[in-house]
Amino acid sequence: MILSLSSSRQRSRLFISGRVAPVMIVLLALVISAAVFFFFTKPAMEKKANEAVPAQAKATKPPSPPATPAQTPAATAKSAPVTPVPTATAPAPNFGFARPLDLGKEMVRSLAAGDFSRVGGMAAASDPTQAAEAAKIFEKMMKDLGAKLGSEDQVELLGMVENKTRVAIPFTLPGQQTPIRLQLDLERDERMGWKITRLELPKELAAAIPAKVSTPVAAAPAAGKRPAPAADSGRPQTATPAPAAPMTKSLFTVSQGVDALTFGSDFVHALLRHDFVEAKKYVDEKRVPAERLAGLCIVFEEGQYEFKPTKPLIITVANPEVSWVIAQVQSQILQQSTEFGLELQRSGTDQPWRVVGLNLSDILSSFAASASKMGVPYTPIVKNPKGGESLALYFEYDQATLHPRAQKQLVIVAGLLRSDPNKKLNIAGYTDDKGTDDYNMQLSRARAETVKQQLVGLGVPETQVITTALGKAQPLSPNQKADGSDDPQGRSKNRRAEIFLDF
């Protein structure tokens, strides 16, 4: 019995040990696996994952701000991060003007419609932050000052100065007949077409510009930063003045007088109107002979010249007291574009400009080369035997009758003489070398007398006109070619009457 019980217990122990051993082995394997995972596998996985993160993603991660004494860990955890507010930038307007005149005319249309907001936007295209102020200035010009706008067709392209194209818009003020001009300086912008960079108001409209108050504005502290309190340092703190905010340069300036480009434009306009008396007001009469001025008026009338629509005037030298201007003109009937030069001077910046030189070589040579299309070919200004220059009137072969073109020239000359009764005018008649000397003297005298009688008929007193007959003497061009053959074109230049203004 005892032996049987002992055998039973022994069998139980063997059964239990046989079942427990595998379990223990499994548990031990799990423990070893977990240890391997936590001590080897997991660190390797984390390292690999960190290496896979792009460098630029790490660079964009904002660093944690350093804790300050006033902040506790709890407060730091609850504080929301400060996000900087981007500064609002007004988008550049895109008006899309292909030509400077298009912009000027659109401003006239918008002003006529009372759309001051659009006008302000166009005026401030180079600095949209000034659009509202520009709109107020235009509104004050029209409503408070009573400026009356000129027509769209009166908008004028003056020319080019300092790489800017200048456009003028005319206005008139109550009780005044003479127009004043708002001048716009424009430049080409590849993104938005032509835009205004500066506006110049005449002095009569200066009241439309509000007075500027140049009080600097204190700069706000940087985002996320606070000024240190006085207690932090243990002694009173002195506030550091904030830097003054940059002052915005106004788009508007006030004219201090007629500038060289405007002066030159007004002068050439008088010539294009063939208004010798008006044009003479712009010149220094001691340095610009009246013959040159009258001759230019004659060329403009005969060729029906007008300003070129693009860049009619170009300032090549722009100094406070000296300016050189190139005037570009064109003639439809001559199918020609040409130019001439103006030299302007003044004795001081507070003094008016004067034309002190006219370079007519280009326009006179172009006119002479093209004028054959109108019949009698040649320039009206020639070198005078006495020195200086003369006005020349040309005649047909064996004729003393004035050509219609010559009659138009004398209208200008008559106006010149009527402006000053003390002036004297000398007329010399000439012929080519065909015919006898006596016949040529008679023909040249008849030509000079014809010119005199035409002037008398235009209101010039006979006492102001002196005539001389010189026959075939003093030819302007050879009557024969180098080989001795006849030169009809050369002879035609010698059939003339020269007008010399003796004053």
| Mean pLDDT score across all residues of the chain | 79
Query: Residue 62 pLDDT > 50, yes or no?
Result: no
Q: What is residue 195's predicted lDDT score, i.e. its pLDDT?
A: 93
pLDDT, average across residues 9-32: 58
3-class DSSP assignment, residue 235: coil
Where do the DSSP E strands lie in 33-174? 148-149, 156-161, 164-172
Q: Which residues contact 227 (CB under 8 A, 6 or more apart)?
A: 221, 237
pLDDT single digits (tens) 369-421 = 776 665 555 677 777 666 677 888 889 899 999 877 777 778 878 877 777 77
List the structure tokens of 192.
């938005």
Answer yes or no: are the C-beta atoms of 329 and 307 closer than 8 Å: yes
Q: What is residue 211's predicted lDDT score, i.e. its pLDDT?
A: 76
Confidence tier at 30 by pLDDT (50, 70, 90): low
Q: Which residues contact 251 (CB under 8 A, 6 or more apart)?
A: 123, 124, 126, 127, 130, 134, 196, 197, 198, 199
Query: Residue 136 pLDDT > 90, yes or no?
Result: yes
Q: Which DSSP state fits 407?
A: H
Answer yes or no: are the C-beta atoms of 409 and 380 closer than 8 Å: yes
Calpha distance 303→378 (Å, rounded): 12
pLDDT single digits (tens) 286-333 = 999 887 888 888 888 888 899 998 889 999 988 999 999 999 999 998
pLDDT, average across residues 174-189: 93
Q: What is residue 23's predicted lDDT score, i.e. its pLDDT?
A: 57
Calpha distance 161→314 (Å, rounded): 6
pLDDT, average across residues 178-185: 94
- The β-bridge relationship of strands 389-394 and 381-383 is antiparallel
Strand order in the sheet with 424-429: 381-383, 389-394, 496-502, 424-429, 465-469
Query: Residue 91 pLDDT > 60, yes or no?
Result: no
Q: What is residue 27's predicted lDDT score, i.e. its pLDDT?
A: 65
The neighbouring-strand residues paired with 290 are none
Higher pLDDT, residue 316 or 49: 316
Calpha distance 502→495 (Å, rounded): 22
How large a percentage of the chain has pLDDT more than 90? 43
Calpha distance 472→20 (Å, rounded): 151
Between 37-41, 59-63, 87-91, 324-328, the lowest mean confidence (pLDDT) is in 59-63
Q: Which residues contact 108 (CB under 8 A, 6 or more apart)?
A: 149, 150, 151, 152, 155, 169
Confidence tier at 243 by pLDDT (50, 70, 90): low
Q: Which residue blocks in 178-229 are alpha helix, DSSP H? A: none
Answer yes or no: are the C-beta atoms of 158 and 265 closer than 8 Å: yes
Confidence tier at 219 by pLDDT (50, 70, 90): very low
- The β-bridge relationship of strands 496-502 and 313-318 is unpaired
Q: Which domains does the chain have, with CATH numbers?
A: 100-208 (3.10.450), 258-369 (3.10.450.50), 375-479+488-503 (3.30.1330.60)
Q: Which DSSP state fits 256?
A: -
The neighbouring-strand residues paired with 195 are 187
Confidence tier at 65 by pLDDT (50, 70, 90): very low
Residue type for position 452: K
Number of neighbouring beta carbons within 10 Å of residue 297: 27
List the structure tokens of 85.
């507010």
Calpha distance 155→9 (Å, rounded): 125
Q: What is residue 79's predicted lDDT score, i.e. its pLDDT?
A: 46
Residues 248, 254, 255, 261: what is their CA dihedral angle, to the nearest 10 degrees? Answer: 40
Higher pLDDT, residue 128 or 500: 128
How large a percentage of the chain has pLDDT more than 70? 71
Q: What is residue 468's predicted lDDT score, i.e. its pLDDT?
A: 94
Query: Residue 265 pLDDT > 90, yes or no?
Result: yes
Higher pLDDT, residue 19 or 113: 113
